[in-house]
Amino acid sequence: MTKKTPSGLDPWNALRVHTDARIGLGRVGDGLPTERLLEFQMAHARARDSVHMPFDANSVRAKLGVLDYPILDVHSAAPDRATYLQRPDLGRLLDDASFDSLAQHKQNYDVAFILADGLSARATQDHGAETLSMILDQLGDSWSVAPITLATQSRVGLGDEIGSALGAKMTVMLIGERPGLSSADSLGAYLTWGPKRGQSNADRNCVSNIRPAGLTPKKAAEKIAYLMIEARKLGLSGVALKDNSSSTLLIDG
Amino acid sequence: MQTAAPFSFERFTFPDLKSLLAKASPLRSGDVLAGLAAASDEERVAARFALADVPLKRFLSEVLVAYEDDDVTRMIIDDHDMDAFAPVSSLTVGDFRNWLLSDEATPEVLKNLAPGLTPEMVAAVSKLMRNQDLISVAKKCHVVTAFRNTVGLPGHLSVRLQPNHPTDDPAGVAASILDGLMHGSGDAVIGINPATDSPEAMIDLLKLIDEVRERIDIPTQSCVLSHVTTAIDVMARNAPVDLVFQSIAGTQKANESFGITQSMLAEAEDAAKGLKRGTIGNNVMYFETGQGAALSADAHEGIDQQTVETRAYAVARKYSPLLVNTVVGFIGPEYLFDGKQITRAGLEDHFCGKLLGVPMGCDVCYTNHAEADQDDMDNLLTLLGVAGCNFVIGVPGADDIMLNYQSTSFHDAMYLRSVLGLKPAPEFAAWLSKMDILDQYGRTRPQLDGQAAQNLLAWSGAA
């Protein structure tokens, strides 16, 4: 940083190597220098856009085209984003049409994969298909896989409805996490054994912060596949299934 | 307990006090989510008319959760001070609002009244008040506490320095502490939310803060915001605990969901007092609350979000805290949808806490899925400064990289002190002057190339 700043940033600038926190910003009077102010606004704008961007299920469908699985679109009972944000209960229920369409595919599957918008459609659009295909690569051929569902206005709990409607023993939901100021594209994976309505979050395993600058999709896929294999072996998920990844629930289930 | 005729106004009736309070509450998404909100604006105001006629005494005979089922109710009823209540005991809720705004309600009168008020009385009157009423009455309530400095004096504003780091990295935490101190923050507490709630992690962080505090003789206190049981554990191992932290809520069931009981809080307070680390006072507890916490734990007992929040302050009051912090926008838009709802809630919480005699501060904050931005935070921050809020939060650049939400920054606190002429805690202000952080006019204008700054940097490099 050779740029002259009003308050003399240099003595503090060295400290920025220790943390991503916004330290050493300099100041103008009591306020922030213009560039710092705008940097913050840009980070917030990206995070908000991620929350409000409509889920483009077709773009995800196109990316999934190379995989040889049927793909179904489902929608929660929250009709729009404003309702979704205020009524998490509706985001955990399927609308009637979605329930009917899933019921037509009901069989005895090992796993149902769900790609869901959650609180960041951008995360799912950018990293969902890639992460899923890497998981499938890890799993091998011994799994019967349900049609892949693309879920709009979805909370984590919607996976329970989807999994039980399809008749899957296990669900793996890849869902956009609540965006932080510097992580607008972070994907979370939730693994649930024996999905049914009203499942507690303590019965799930979570792998979070999946994004190129966080836990890379490749590393995440290894972790998720490992958990899936263990869950199938033990016939359970949740706290009893050892998970070495961070289990911070960034999504309000 | 008692069954009485339903409350009514014009064509609206309300079966009990609990539903009357809920319907009278200003609109917020959490009450809608819980199915407790008024169905129309007209019903909401009708409920306020009916509430205005309720005698304050009624709140002592009709409780919101049964006495035998809930230890918060028992605390409220058992600790109520009838003598202190006397000056307002014949008033209705509507009269009470008028009285609070009147010249009769001086700071001294309000201070003496506090033990005579229950949270439900205070929540009730807040529902009849405009934002300006909440501000002007709160400004008359002075709640002063002390440990190594004095927090809450009129004309002063303290700041919690919140140097969180996603992995508790000592150098990262130290860098944020340094940045905050150089901006005049940290007089309420240097308080870290640890990424890991373990005794070892807590002890490491406590030692880190204690070292800098002693090395450069900072008149402030530290806190690592671990669970109260972790704090009790590390105090037994002689860790340098100044303040004990705990999140609390307004029902027994909600507190159980936090894994706490009243006896744990009492034990922690005794243990921390026993360490005798305070130099000028012995308020050793730091509590956090926030509207929506009880509902999110499915433990609200059918009480509206604002009233059940106020009941948490009765819990806080019992343990003589140094600081109580309502984390007002953290919980998300399903409880407080937008800047308007967050602003109202922040002013309500501050008012209700202060009237009950609780040393209220506020984490003016929001998440990225709420309809709010920095302008909303500026507005609430400024309003709380006018209302005499004891402290606010200082996070580097307002961006908490561990908890993933936006709070207020060191710069925001500088702005607020500057535009309203508010000073840091007196003992801390003296230290800031000594360190060349405050200039001769009391402004925060750190001399970054001076000896004091170099001393701080040297410590930080060693951490």
CB contact under 8 A, B368 and A179: yes
What is the helix (H) or strand (E) element at residue B341, kind and residue range?
helix B339-355
Q: Could you give the CA distance from residue A134 to residue A110 in angstroms, rounded to a whole number?
A: 18
Same domain, B199 and B289: yes
Q: Could you give the CA distance from residue A17 to residue A20 in angstroms, rounded to a whole number?
A: 8
Residue B52 maps to a domain: yes
Take residue B223 and report the two structure tokens written for it: 């806190």
When pLDDT is averaged across residues A15-23 and rounded to a whole number, the result is: 90
Give the model confidence (pLDDT) of A21-37 as tens digits.
999 999 999 999 999 99
CB contact under 8 A, B411 and A27: yes
Same domain, B128 and B204: no
Domain extent for B305: 145-452
> Pick from A18, A43, A85: which is nearest to B369 by CB?
A85
pLDDT at A253 over 60: no
CATH number at residue A120: 3.40.50.11240
Give residue for tokens 């012995």. B282
Nearest CA in chain A to B445: A29
Residue A1 maps to a domain: no
Same domain, B213 and B114: no
> Pick from A7, A19, A86: which is nearest to B165 by CB?
A19
Residue B392 maps to a domain: yes
State how many domains chain B has.
2
> Pick from B179, B369, B406: which is nearest to A119 by CB?
B369
When pLDDT is cut at 50, 70 and 90, the band that residue A209 belongs to is confident
Q: Choose the final residue of a domain: B87, B117, B140.
A: B140
Contact list, A15 vs chain B (CB under 8 Å): 175, 178-179, 457, 460
Contacts for B276 with CB less than 8 Å, ≥ 6 apart: B282
CB contact under 8 A, B172 and A250: no
B454 backbone dihedrals φ, ψ, rounded to 5°:
-65, -35
Of B4 and B455, more confident:
B455
pLDDT at B4 over 70: no
Same domain, B121 and B209: no
Task: Kindly report each contact of residues A93-102 with a partner whose C-beta sits within 8 Å and lies 24 or more positions away, as own/partner.
Answer: A93/A158, A93/A161, A94/A158, A94/A161, A94/A162, A94/A165, A98/A73, A98/A74, A99/A161, A99/A165, A101/A72, A101/A74, A102/A72, A102/A74, A102/A149, A102/A162, A102/A165, A102/A166
When pLDDT is cut at 50, 70 and 90, the band that residue B463 belongs to is low
Same domain, B239 and B378: yes
CB contact under 8 A, A87 and B33: yes
Residue A19 maps to a domain: no
> Quick check: B105 and B140 in contact, CB under 8 A?
yes
| Cα B331 to the center of its chain, rounded Å | 15
CB contact under 8 A, A23 and B415: no
Q: How many CA atoms lie within 13 Å of B151's alpha carbon, on the beta-carbon side?
A: 31
B78 class by beta-carbon count within 10 Å (0-12 exposed, 13-18 middle, 19+ buried): exposed
Nearest-5° Cα angle at B205, B204 to B206: 95
What share of chain B has pLDDT > 70, as a percent? 98
Same domain, B366 and B409: yes
- Please give the C-alpha separations between residue B120 and each of B197, B239, B292, in angstroms, as whole numbers: 34, 39, 17
When pLDDT is cut at 50, 70 and 90, the band that residue A251 belongs to is very low
pLDDT at B376 over 90: yes
Same domain, B283 and B267: yes
Nearest CA in chain A to B179: A23
CATH number at residue B182: 3.20.20.70
Q: Which of B340, B367, B369 best probes binding to A when mutated, by most A CB atoms within 10 angstroms? A: B369
Q: Could you give the CA distance from residue A251 to residue B3 in angstroms, rounded to a whole number?
A: 42
Q: Where are the beta strands (DSSP E) in B259-404?
A: 285-289, 323-327, 360-363, 391-394, 399-400
CA distance B416 to chain A (A): 9
Average pLDDT score, chain A = 89
Q: Choose the final residue of a domain: B84, B112, B140.
A: B140
Q: Is B247 helix (H, G, I), strand (E, B) or coil?
A: strand
CATH number at residue B55: 1.10.220.70
Which of A195, A229, A179, A74 lies closest to B368 in space, CA to CA?
A179
Contact list, B185 vs chain A (CB under 8 Å): none
Q: How many CA atoms lie within 13 Å of A211's alpha carbon, on the beta-carbon side?
A: 22
CB contact under 8 A, B172 and A18: yes
Q: Choose the final residue of a domain: B117, B140, B163.
A: B140
Nearest CA in chain A to B417: A30
Same domain, B150 and B99: no
- Strand-strand pairing, A109-116 and A168-176: parallel
Q: Which of B176, B411, B439 best probes binding to A when mutated, by most A CB atoms within 10 angstroms? A: B411
Residue B68 maps to a domain: yes
Nearest CA in chain A to B459: A15
pTM to 2 decimal places? 0.91
Residue A247 maps to a domain: no
Contact list, A86 vs chain B (CB under 8 Å): 29, 32-33, 333-334, 337
Same domain, B429 and B322: yes
Same domain, B121 and B204: no
- Please give the C-alpha separations between residue B162 and each of A32, A91, B176, B181, B192, in angstroms, as whole numbers: 19, 33, 8, 11, 6
Same domain, B323 and B264: yes
Residue B460 maps to a domain: no
What is the pLDDT at residue A243?
Answer: 56
Of B455 and B230, more confident:
B230
Give the model confidence (pLDDT) of B89-110 as tens digits.
999 999 999 999 999 999 999 9
Take residue A103 and report the two structure tokens written for it: 């019921």
Same domain, B287 and B432: yes
> Pick from A31, A86, A182: which is nearest to B411 by CB?
A31
What is the pLDDT at residue A214?
Answer: 84
**Dihedral sign computed on CA atoms, order B205, B424, B404, B284:** positive
Q: Is A43 helix (H, G, I), strand (E, B) or coil?
A: helix
CA distance B110 to chain A (A): 35
Q: Is B312 on the interface with A (CB under 8 A)?
A: no
Residue A183 maps to a domain: yes
Residue B134 maps to a domain: yes
> Quick check: B174 and B186 in contact, CB under 8 A?
no
Q: Could you give the CA distance from residue B68 to residue B74 in angstroms, rounded to a whole number?
A: 7
Q: Is B397 on the interface with A (CB under 8 A)?
A: yes
Which residues sit opposite B12 in a β-bridge? Answer: B9
> Pick from B171, B179, B398: which is nearest to A12 by CB?
B179
Domain extent for A155: 52-234
What is the pLDDT at residue A10?
Answer: 55
Using only the alpha carbons of chain A, give its radius of gyration.
20
State how many domains chain A has.
1
How much of chain B is in helix, strand and coil states, percent to nearest 5?
Answer: 50, 15, 40
